[in-house]
Structure formats: C-alpha cells, structure tokens
Amino acid sequence: MTDPHRATGVLLTNLGTPAAPTPQALRRYLAEFLWDHRVVELPRPLWWLVLNGVILWIRPRRSAAAYQRIWTQQGSPLLTISQQQAARLAERLNEQHSSQFKVALGMRYGQPSIESAYAELETAGCERILVLPLYPQYSAATTASTYDALGAVLRKRRVMPHLRLLRDYHDHPDYISALAASIREYWQQHGRGERLLISFHGIPKRYAERGDPYPIQCERTAQALAKHLDLASEEWQLVFQSRFGPQPWLEPYTDRTLEHLARNGVKRVDLVCPGFAADCLETLEENDMLNHERFLAAGGNEFHYIPCLNDRPDHIDALGEIIKENLAGWL
C-alpha cells in the first residue's frame, strides 16, 4: 500500500535546450529533437537521409548563432527560468501542504533529462507522481512526446508509481488570469499598442488535419485572454510562429502578419506568447529580435514583446492550483 507520509512527486517538464550555444552542442541537441517521430512525422529512412545528410550539416551553426544572442551568464534562459519555476513551485506547494511535495525538473531533449528527474523522485521515495508538461495547449509533438519519454523510463522499472498525467490547461481560469495580469502590468508601464498579437508555436497543418487538437486549444486560449482583457475583435489577432520546412503550417504566420500590419499603417504592435511557459529562443530571439526588426523594416514604429509568465508569483500560484485540482484524492 502507498505510504501516506511519503512525498508526492511532481515531474515538471519542458522541451529542453542545448548544453551550450555552439555548433557541436546544437548538433547533438537537434539530432535528438528532430529524430523524434512525434516532431517530424515522415518515414524514418527518408527522414534519416535528410536529417543526417543535410540538416545536421547546415542548421547547427545557424542555430548556435541564434542561441548566442540570448545566452546569459547563467546559461540557457529556458533552463534557468524552468529551474526557478520548479524551486518556487516546490516552496508554494510545501508551504500549503506541510512538506508533502518533491518537485523535479526534466527536459524532453537535453539535460536534465526526464529520466534523471524521475530518478530524483524515485530516490526521494515518491510513490505518487503527477506529470506536468509545461505546455498549456496539448499537441502530440510536445505533450505526447513527453509521455513517450516517460514510458521509455518506466519500461526499465519493475515497480511502477501511482501515476497521473496532466494533458493540458489551455483554458484554466488561473492561467488565463495570470496572462491577463501580466499584459495589463506591461501596458501600465509601457503604454498600449494598436494591436495585440497572440502568437503560438505552429505545427504542420496536416498534424491538425489528422486530429491534433492544438489549434483549437490555441484559439480557445486566445479568445479567453481577449475576453479577460475586454478587447474588441479588431484589437487582437491569433497568429502562429516558428515554422520549419516547406510544408504548410498553421496560419496566419506571425512574421507575415507583422509585415502586413506595418505596411497598412499600424504603428505599434504588442506581442505575447501564451503557449510558452518560459522565455526561450522562440520568444527572445525570434520575436523580440527578428520579428521586432521585421516590423520596423516594413514601416512600423514600435514593437513591444510582452515576456512569458516565467516565475511570476501568479503563474506559480496558477500551476499550484492546477496541481492541487489534479491530485484530488491524493492530498
């Protein structure tokens, strides 16, 4: 029987990051990331040739240069922020529940791995584990891939824990409220633009056509956020970023939308990324740098990137409430 005095484990996961902003480190990271069949759904022999014969010879150097633009003295922003989130979430949970929780951080690709995070919970004696992927909107390429990685870890174990998997929290009231509060605070400090772009990471259209609920959940998040902010339909727009390869991805595209708005007289745009729990390459380099430059080059005057929720207290509180709701009967 489960010992009620043992800690409950929370396995907090995110996508991951290279170990360093170098071509060598990016080659290792991209080889793991892009070989995941959930990320690239192409026949393995064909994709192996493309990946190893072309992409891993070209992309690592380009990606390393991008990471160098955002790398800090502490290392990767995504890893640093994720570690802060895990530490503050553990503090919050244990303040409210008398030290019943152990929180471990695992990345789907790179280090610390999901296996090392699971081993940390295992060593702490956690017989009950909640898995919380920090992807508010579900996609097979992210959340399901996390489940795959955890399954590979569990296949090596004889003793299984009591396990709960959190699929998504795209419309949770506390998550939406934290997003809205962060935007309002930014507007109070920096003024407000003519248009708020709500930008999510894209996926290939054919993934959605095969039943992936990701675009529907992105739309629900964006609509709930706009409603919470009392925005009229012409004051905000849902867009998708970070497309890769020649195939069609979810539209409208963030970069093309920015150019269109600038060329049609919009002088200031604000952009927020609710699908990212922590700032990373796609928010800091792609949006706050590249898309910023793109908007100005097309004729815009001001581009304002509103940071992710990161380790804001209201974000940690929202995650704590989500965990509490999903541990009904365990606490």
Binding residues for Fe(2+): 201, 282
Q: Are 322 and 176 in contact (CB under 8 A)?
A: no
Positive or negative torsion for Cα 153, 154, 159, 161: positive
Q: Are 322 and 132 in contact (CB under 8 A)?
A: yes
**Residue set of the binding site:** 201, 282
Q: Which residues contact 85 (CB under 8 A, 6 or more apart)?
A: 12, 105, 134, 277, 278, 310, 311, 315, 316, 319
Query: 139 by DSSP, 3-state: which?
Result: coil
**Helix, strand, coil percentages for the chain (3-state, nearest 5):** 50, 15, 30
Q: Using CA atoms, how far apart are residues 104 and 110, in angstroms rounded to an integer?
A: 15
**SS (HEC) of 150-172:** HHHHHCCCCCCCEEEECCCCCCC
Greatest alpha-carbon span in the chain:
66
Q: Are 36 and 49 in contact (CB under 8 A)?
A: no
Q: Using CA atoms, how far apart are residues 294 and 260, in angstroms rounded to an integer?
A: 11
Distances (CA, A) of 179 to 114, 226, 228, 272: 27, 10, 9, 9
Helices 313-326 and 173-190: crossing angle in degrees, nearest 10, is 170
